[in-house]
Amino acid sequence: MKRWQLFYWGKGTRVKKDGMKELDCIFKPRSIAVIGASDTPRKWGRLMVERPLNTGYKGAIYPINPQKRHILGLPAYPSVIDVPGDIDLAVITTPSVTVPNILRECTRKGIRGVVVITAGFAELGEEGRRLEEEMVAIAREGGIRFVGPNGMGIWSAAGHLSLCFHQAPKSGPMAFVSQSGTFGVAMARVATQKGYGLSKFISIGNQADLEAADYLEYLADDEETRVIILYLEGLKDGRRFFEVAKRVIREKPIVVYKAGRSKAGARATMSHTASIAGSEKVFDGMCRQLGIIQVQEAFHLFEVAEALAQLPLPSGNRVAILGSGGQGVVGSDACSAFGLELPELDSDTARIISALLPAHAPRAKNPIDFAGSRRTALQEAEIIEKLLRLDYIDGVISNVPVSPQIWDPSLVVDINGDTLSEPVQTAVDGARLYASLPQKYGKPVICLRFGRIENDIMEQILGEGGVPVYDTPEQCALAMSALFRYGTVRRKTGSKNRKLPKV
């Protein structure tokens, strides 16, 4: 993606034509220095050494502490100036009043990337604001770009670097940019536990230097990122964010949860990350104009992003639902609430699908009702394929295909084995057909499961094929709606067809 970028630094601007490649020193560092390193348990200076050591960072780590010779088995140095090798990234954990002089030393050493964990700046009031402004002026004069202050660090799959997690998250296509550190880390941990994969996690803190728009710019060109997720409390420069997001969304979807919408929440953002929450109406209008997908519950960020990262985009908002009884009713209401339509099936299709349903099931309409009795996974997949062939159906919401583990939860199946029983083999074949359908027809398929089965072979196969599985009809409808909305954005902007990940 070739574009001009303006950095609003002081009274002037700096124009670059190389996007945000300068941030590689932060997200792909070959070496890091931890300033304020410690061997005292639970101190930030220890965590910033310990976490990279324990999560697979492959570069050199230089602990900086004038009182220590070794920290966690690594040679320690009095200052970054004393480190014999080059340093790509410095991580600062020392008290706020020491940070300006530390940045001067980083400039002398030739360090170009910094993560400032330290708090005690603009979020505390006027004195902290002056200190933050001094820090920014020094960094800009010295050619340093920095994350924070008042943050929890970063995770970068490409750099094998974790400053914020004790265990490296699962790598995946979602980049999560969070203005809250503790809340963002907690959400990212839950996301990892649920199987979502992250390419980046960035706790942006006060955004004294690098702002949300800068991270958008960088992630737009990041090959590991397919969806950009934002937790925002306020924007430093709303106009620049608008201009950058307008370009980025032509290439990648942006999903945002905006906090600080109430008066109490807006007050909290000032003491949390020194942010002005801004006008709710203006922010909502910007998102509608650009096609940024807003969610109303924080964890919906990941649920929506999962579908956007893996599935083809529908050409319209016409959906078919395959389920049973009340599931179809609730699913229909949820789809309607999110602006999706459920066209009635034509008579020929209704007749063909009805022949595949249990004998006591009602004639196939839309939603299609199993009447409480499901047949084989292969038959379910055949019904979905017939629906995807219809020119008036743009996507399908269905159950996870029926699993033999429903009847025998103790059953352990090696899906790549060659000695599967006939019922299990039929289930595996059905799930594999399910998983192949989105890419075959260029239409999304989303699955629902009430109550997860541990180590379910059906979900495993669907996951390998990029078919997401949700817990409620409302989540399914929300994800399908997001796919439709982003597809509309790409059609309006004339964006090229995006490549799906290989399955």
| Residue 247 pLDDT class (50, 70, 90 cuts) | very high
Q: Is the pLDDT of residue 264 over 80?
A: no
Structural domains of the chain in order of their starting residue, each with its CATH number:
19-147 (3.40.50.720), 169-310 (3.40.50.261), 313-493 (3.40.50.261)
- Nearest Cα to Cα of residue 87 among 58, 67, 69, 114: 114
| Residue 477 pLDDT class (50, 70, 90 cuts) | very high
Q: Is the pLDDT of residue 15 over 60?
A: no
Counting residues of the chain whose pLDDT is more than 90, the rounded percentage is 72
Lowest mean pLDDT across 151-155, 292-296, 323-327: 323-327
Q: Which residues contact 329 (CB under 8 A, 6 or more apart)?
A: 367
pLDDT in tens, 179-232: 988 999 999 999 988 889 999 999 999 999 999 999 999 999 999 999 999 999
254 phi/psi in degrees, rounded to 5: -120, 125
pLDDT in tens, 49-75: 999 999 999 999 999 999 999 999 999
Q: Which residues contact 323 (CB under 8 A, 6 or more apart)?
A: 331, 367, 368, 369, 370, 397, 398, 399, 448
DSSP, collapsed to helix, strand or coil, labels residue 274 as coil
**CB-based contact 462:415 (threshold 8 Å):** no
| Residue 456 pLDDT class (50, 70, 90 cuts) | confident
* Run of H or E including 47: helix 44-54
377 phi/psi in degrees, rounded to 5: -60, -35
Helix axes 377-388, 347-354, angle to 10 degrees: 170
pLDDT score of 5: 37
**CB-based contact 473:502 (threshold 8 Å):** no
Give the alpha-carbon dihedral of 190, 39, 144, 200, to 10 degrees: -20
d(CA 480, CA 472): 13
In whole numbers, what is the pLDDT of the chain averaged over residues? 89
Lowest mean pLDDT across 114-128, 179-193, 370-384, 468-482: 370-384
d(CA 185, CA 35): 22
Single-letter residue type at 246: K
**CB-based contact 392:443 (threshold 8 Å):** no
pLDDT score of 411: 65
pLDDT in tens, 387-425: 999 999 999 999 888 776 666 666 666 666 656 677 777
pLDDT score of 189: 92
pLDDT score of 457: 83
